[in-house]
Amino acid sequence: MSNTKDTKHAKTAAVHKADKQLFVEKRPEGDFAVRKANSERASDVLPTQAEAITRAKELSPDAAPLVERVRKTDTGKPNQWRKV
Instruction: Choose among 25, 20, 26: nearest CA to 59.
Output: 20
pLDDT value, residue 15: 47
Question: Has residue 6 been placed in a domain?
Answer: no
Is residue 23's pLDDT more than 50? yes
Is residue 39's pLDDT more than 70? yes
Question: Has residue 80 been placed in a domain?
Answer: no
Question: Has residue 34 been placed in a domain?
Answer: yes
CA 80 to chain CA mean position, Å:
13
Instruction: Choose among 2, 71, 23: nearest CA to 32.
Output: 23
Question: Has residue 31 been placed in a domain?
Answer: yes
Question: Has residue 14 been placed in a domain?
Answer: no
Count of domains for the chain: 1
CA angle 76, 77, 82 (to 5 degrees): 85
* pLDDT tens digits for range 50-82: 999 999 999 999 888 999 875 666 776 655 667
Question: Has residue 81 been placed in a domain?
Answer: no
Question: Has residue 26 been placed in a domain?
Answer: yes
- 3-class secondary-structure state, position 75: coil
Residue 61: give the domain boundaries.
Answer: 22-71
